[in-house]
Structure 1
Amino acid sequence: MRISVLGRVVFAIAFIGLGILSLFSGDFASVWQPVPPGIPGRAFLAVVSGAVMLIAGLGLLSRRTVVPASLALTIYTLVWLLALHVPRIVAAPTQEITWGGAAEILTLVAASWMLYASAATPASRFYFAPLAGAKAVHIARFLFAVALPLLGLEHLLYLQPTADMVPAWLPDRLGWAYVTGLAHIAAGVAILFAVLPRLAATLETVMTGIFTLFVWIPTVMATPAQRFVWTGLLISTVITAAAWIVTESYRSAPWFSFSRSRNQLTDLATR
């Protein structure tokens, strides 16, 4: 299976932007990379982190370098998840906001891995068989699907903050907060149990894309000097691109499929 170019390009551009922000600010990606302020060499690590995102993002733009770039991003985002977000969950397991933050990064792990699994072949220089092929594609989809209900639950538990982000010109902003939360949960369950998975992934991509366009872009235009809002825009963009990549992995699957076929999955992963 080959992921078509557009989703990968948007994914790459978002990481390039995050890398540039880190390099110019000398800091990590705001609340999404909660590195403690007192950690030794923090500024140096922030520059290294920014350089990894920038270089790997640039690597995703070329088919010749997509395999090592996607592998690097898979490792990087996994370390990001395990080192920065999992300890917060362990420290405060009853706070859903820590789970929601981890879920956002898990979508990036899943998409990075899916790019690698779809592009790596035995002829590739950086080929690791357990991380490539049909089984890897399946696991990456599973990880993405697990993340979505956690995002939805975060919307539902923090209704007012979510509603405050809904554009003021829309009626019943609280209602939209409910809708987006439930939609995340429904999409995750549908992908997880292979109930209209292509349609579910597509609608998830459209929803997160609309959120990026109508929430974060106006916010950046209103306060262009704030690094936080630029980081928010790029994180929202990269999550949208992650959903896009998952959607593209289903492009040979029927729109109205209610079952998962091993043969179909093998066919998707070897195209």
Structure 2
Amino acid sequence: MIKLAIIGKWFYAVAFIVFGIQHFIYAEFAATLIPAWIPWHLFWTYFVGVAFILAAISIIINKYALFSCVMMGIMLAMFILLMHIPNLVNHPQDPQRWTRALQDVLFMGTALMLTGELKLQTAGKYLFAVPIIILALQHFAHANFVTAKVPAWFPAVEVWDYIVGIVIIVAAIGIITNRYMGAPALMLAILLFTLALLYHVPLLIADVHSGQQWTGAMLDIAIAGGAFVVAALPAVYYKPASMAT
């Protein structure tokens, strides 16, 4: 369990270090994502970049990690409230906006799970698992930007898309219902990580300087990291309610 937690926190933290660096490399673009009514767009862009990097390092070295994870969760909650919800209100039919919002919800859930605090971990588990189910449903629409994309060179891609969607949903339901210990979460983590490698590595080799490819790869790696963190949660989460203490 400890090894799974270490893998998960490294995946999550490294992804956010990359996101933080991108706030400096692509500062002008990142600034456009901030709501127009908030002043000093570039300042907040750099501020978020620094916050991501420092929080990720804190998580890796386990120094002030509780504080960093709570602050990360609060920051992601602010993204959801200030950016994603207004965007969804204005563009309710845009599936990509829904995807990014849901990804930030599950990233917030992962941050809470990494706090090590029982109540926050419980909330974090559900904030991670419920969005995963909604994201998995997009596999049935063959949306090419969803979590754990199926590589285009797979035979019968649409069939695999259905299979991946079903497996993710079943695993997420197992997480929510606390069935079979951490096995569903571990299965989900391995699936997401494997598909992320198969999909993103060839694209990054073809264009290693593509910021868009790096963002997509790190989003999927961070989500896989969250699944590893779920798999490492204490056994109390996987006991039937009548047995939990």
- Please say whether Structure 1 and Structure 2 have the same fold, judged by a TM-score greater than 0.5: yes
1-structure distance, mates of 2:152, 2:93? 31
2-structure distance, mates of 1:25, 1:100? 21
Quick one: which amino acid aligns to residue 12 of structure 2? F
Q: Which residue of 1 aligns with 2:104?
A: 105
Quick one: which amino acid aligns to residue 261 of structure 1? A
Instruction: Mark the CA change 1:188 to 1:87 in structure 2 (over 3 Å): closer, same or farther.
Output: farther
Q: Which residue of 1 aligns with 2:178?
A: 194
Instruction: Mark the CA change 1:35 to 1:186 in structure 2 (over 3 Å): closer, same or farther.
Output: farther
Contact 2:96–2:145 (8 Å) recurs in 1? no
Q: Which residue of 2 aligns with 1:239?
A: 223
The answer to whether structure 1 residue 217 and structure 2 residue 198 are counterparts is no
- After TM superposition, give the deviation of residue 8 of structure 1 in Å: 1.4
Contact 1:159–1:178 (8 Å) recurs in 2? no
1-structure distance, mates of 2:199, 2:37? 33
1-structure distance, mates of 2:97, 2:221? 20
Q: Which residue of 1 aligns with 2:150?
A: 166
Find the partner of 1:179 among 136, 149, 163: 163
* Cα displacement string for residues 35-79 of structure 1 (whole angstroms, at most 9, x for unaligned residues): 458964322221111111011111112223212221221111211
- After TM superposition, give the deviation of residue 262 of structure 1 in Å: 6.2
* Cα displacement string for residues 69-93 of structure 1 (whole angstroms, at most 9, x for unaligned residues): 2122111121122222122233344
Q: How does 1:54-65 map onto structure 2 within 5 Å?
A: 54-65=53-64
If the length of structure 1 is used for normalisation, what is the TM-score?
A: 0.78
2-structure distance, mates of 1:185, 1:96? 18
Q: How does 1:1-271 map onto structure 2 within 5 Å?
A: 4-27=5-28, 34-35=33-34, 40-116=39-115, 118=116, 132-133=117-118, 135-159=119-143, 166-196=150-180, 198-250=182-234, 252=235, 260-261=240-241, 264=244, 266=245
* Cα displacement string for residues 84-129 of structure 1 (whole angstroms, at most 9, x for unaligned residues): 212223334454443322221111101101111x1xxxxxxxxxxx
Give the aligned length: 242
Q: Which residue of 2 aligns with 1:124?
A: none
RMSD: 2.8
1-structure distance, mates of 2:58, 2:103? 22
1-structure distance, mates of 2:211, 2:107? 21
1-structure distance, mates of 2:145, 2:24? 30
Contact 1:160–1:174 (8 Å) recurs in 2? no
2-structure distance, mates of 1:12, 1:160? 25
Same amino acid, percent of matched pairs: 23
Instruction: Mark the CA change 1:153 to 1:88 in structure 2 (over 3 Å): closer, same or farther.
Output: farther
3-state SS of paired residue (1:207): helix
2-structure distance, mates of 1:167, 1:43? 36
1-structure distance, mates of 2:18, 2:211? 12
1-structure distance, mates of 2:15, 2:155? 31
Contact 1:23–1:47 (8 Å) recurs in 2? yes
- After TM superposition, give the deviation of residue 13 of structure 1 in Å: 1.4
3-state SS of paired residue (2:61): coil
Q: Which runs of 5+ in 1 are unaligned?
A: 119-131, 267-271
Which is worse superposed, 105-114 or 35-44?
Answer: 35-44
* Cα displacement string for residues 190-220 of structure 1 (whole angstroms, at most 9, x for unaligned residues): 2222233512111111111012211112211
If the length of structure 2 is used for normalisation, what is the TM-score?
A: 0.86
